[in-house]
Structure 1
Amino acid sequence: MELISSRKNALARYAAKLSASAEFRREKGQFLIEGARLCADAAVSGVRITVLFSTEQAEGRYPEYLARIRPCAEQEYQITDPVAQLLSDTKSTQGIFCICAMDARCSTLDTADPTGKYAALENIQDPSNLGAVLRTAEAVGVDGVLLLGSCCDPFAPKALRAGMGAVFRLPLIASPDGADAVKALQSRGFSCYAAVPAADAVPITQCHFGGGSVILIGNEGNGLTPETIAACRTRITIPMKGRAESLNAASSAAILLWELSKN
């Protein structure tokens, strides 16, 4: 197995740039994942792994995970600890990394199943929030997640870690404009529900979500845009007690998507 020992190595620098830059990830159609469990999860989920990197120490610590990853990796390199630190987005790395192909993991609105149930996120900026919502969406069994407007990259390192591999299995649909997406979905028979912190909105506990339902959740600080709210035919809210006026995006999504999945 070839050893990469220099932080100036071209492939190591390429992998580090995949970790650091969303624009570079989109340009190359690849992303970098880190960690024994996450890399093994990618392998068993059918993600195309183009390169596997591992340190000598990782060989001894995580043989069972590497045994799952190796058959799926097109190339493999051993790396030194300094190179692992270059690639790592964490303070203490496990020393296992994979370059993976995106392979058109984000599709378009016309692929949404009119009988399915979807979460739609508009302008979510925190990768950890995005990853947490994807993890919840997979756990409760929604059929996919729509990323509307200027959502952060689901393949960012923090989003990948928070999502615990959900991005490998959950259908993603991207659309640049929330209001236009709502109009297009409703024209196909979908029911779109705007989640808002408003007393005059319909309490989520009073809603029945059949097939073709989409719950829209907005930006951490500003919520959904006024245009997107106006485009939705129904506004819904989470009834709250005490002095709390709102919940963060990940907490709201957990409640909303659980209710969506129950009906």
Structure 2
Amino acid sequence: MIETITSRKNQRIKEAAGLVRSAESRRAQGLFVVEGARLCYDALRSGVPVQQLFFTPQAREKYGDYVEPLVQAAQAAFCTEPHAAELLSGTKNSQGVFAVCAQKPRLSLEALPKGGRYLGLEALQDPGNLGAVMRTAEALGIAGLALFGECCDVYNPKALRAGMGAAFRLPVYQGGSFAEIAPHLHRRGFATFAAVPDAGAQPVTDCPFPEPCLLLVGNEGSGLLPETIEACSQKVTIPMKGRAESLNAASSSAILMWEMMR
């Protein structure tokens, strides 16, 4: 049964808007909000449980091929007036389709599978960068993403949009300090690589990446922590020409992942 929402003060809308705004609320409730007809449908196709669906009458008419399967799958569906639905939007030209979904179980780095090559991110702050990295990681066949330190939220709306659905499928492992878990990974046979802007490090173009391995990229402004670099098995760098001294996190991660997966 589809219910109708006409007020911005509706409790369902207010609760969903809280998930859009607050990473703390998302973590506490184990929920997140997806915006956009195609992205919501992608979540459904990827096996993400859709608990609530909000859509405007105009969206149902325009994006019916996406909306109707979502209506059937959602535990609850709400036809929502545009002025109320806009509380859930983080875009200028919203499509008027929003899904409240259940997060995947959080994966511990202690259980990182031994097969494959992984990318680690330390204290990455920009959700757009995180989403772009996840999209590239999925495209290149990275086995999973490991997050260390105070990284931004995988389920941040901006990260979800930039990732184009990669967050629904790519395994993401949560950790605290890399330096603390590094000995455990090394005992399990992982080779660990620190990406650094250091001419004395091995060029990533010449570096073999055995399985299993973990390649770490640092914060947009300050890079990896000194103790993280020290804890890694090896340092690698991206050779650069001209006057460029550095690349942003998404660009450098893309190059590093490409070389790692060649």
> How does the TM-score come out when normalised to structure 1?
0.97
CA-CA distance at 1:64 after TM superposition? 1.0
Residues 22 and 153, structure 1, Cα contact 8 Å, conserved in 2: yes
Q: Where in structure 2 are the equivalents of 1:97-108 lying within 5 Å?
A: 97-104=98-105, 106-108=106-108
Distance in 1 separating the partners of 2:38 and 2:10: 26
Q: Which residue of 2 aligns with 1:79?
A: 80
Q: Give the residue type in structure 2 aligned to 1:229.
A: I
Q: Where in structure 2 are the equivalents of 1:51-200 lying within 5 Å?
A: 51-104=52-105, 106-200=106-200
Distance in 1 separating the partners of 2:5 and 2:257: 45
Distance in 2 separating the partners of 1:193 and 1:260: 10
CA-CA distance at 1:77 after TM superposition? 0.6
Distance in 1 separating the partners of 2:73 and 2:203: 47
Distance in 1 separating the partners of 2:98 and 2:155: 14
Greater displacement, 238-247 / 106-115? 106-115
Greater displacement, 112-121 / 8-17? 112-121
| Secondary structure class of the residue paired with 2:235 | strand
CA-CA distance at 1:115 after TM superposition? 2.0
1:30 and 2:31 are equivalent in the alignment: yes
CA-CA distance at 1:154 after TM superposition? 0.5
Q: List alignment gaps of at least 5 residues for structure 2.
A: none
CA-CA distance at 1:70 after TM superposition? 2.6
| Secondary structure class of the residue paired with 2:214 | strand
| Secondary structure class of the residue paired with 1:153 | coil
Distance in 1 separating the partners of 2:183 and 2:124: 20
Q: Where in structure 2 are the equivalents of 1:11-26 lying within 5 Å?
A: 11-26=12-27
RMSD of aligned residue pairs (Cα, Å): 0.9
Percent of aligned pairs with the same amino acid = 51
| Secondary structure class of the residue paired with 1:147 | strand
Distance in 1 separating the partners of 2:184 and 2:129: 26
| Secondary structure class of the residue paired with 2:151 | coil
- Which runs of 4 or more aligned residues in structure 1 lie more than 6 Å from their structure 2 counterparts after TM superposition? none
Distance in 1 separating the partners of 2:261 and 2:177: 25
Q: Which residue of 1 aligns with 2:201?
A: 201
Q: Which residue of 2 aligns with 1:8?
A: 9
CA-CA distance at 1:182 after TM superposition? 2.4
Residues 128 and 158, structure 1, Cα contact 8 Å, conserved in 2: yes
Q: Deviations over 1:98-123 (max 9, x none)?
A: 0001141x200122121211000000
Q: Give the residue type in structure 2 aligned to 1:152.
A: C
Q: Deviations over 1:13-43 (max 9, x none)?
A: 0000000000010011100110011100000
| Secondary structure class of the residue paired with 2:113 | coil
Q: Which residue of 2 aligns with 1:240?
A: 240
Q: Deviations over 1:70-129 (max 9, x none)?
A: 33211101000111111111111100000001141x200122121211000000000000
Residues 84 and 93, structure 1, Cα contact 8 Å, conserved in 2: no
Residues 55 and 80, structure 1, Cα contact 8 Å, conserved in 2: yes
Residues 52 and 96, structure 1, Cα contact 8 Å, conserved in 2: yes
Q: List alignment gaps of at least 5 residues for structure 1.
A: none
Residues 44 and 68, structure 1, Cα contact 8 Å, conserved in 2: no
CA-CA distance at 1:181 after TM superposition? 2.7
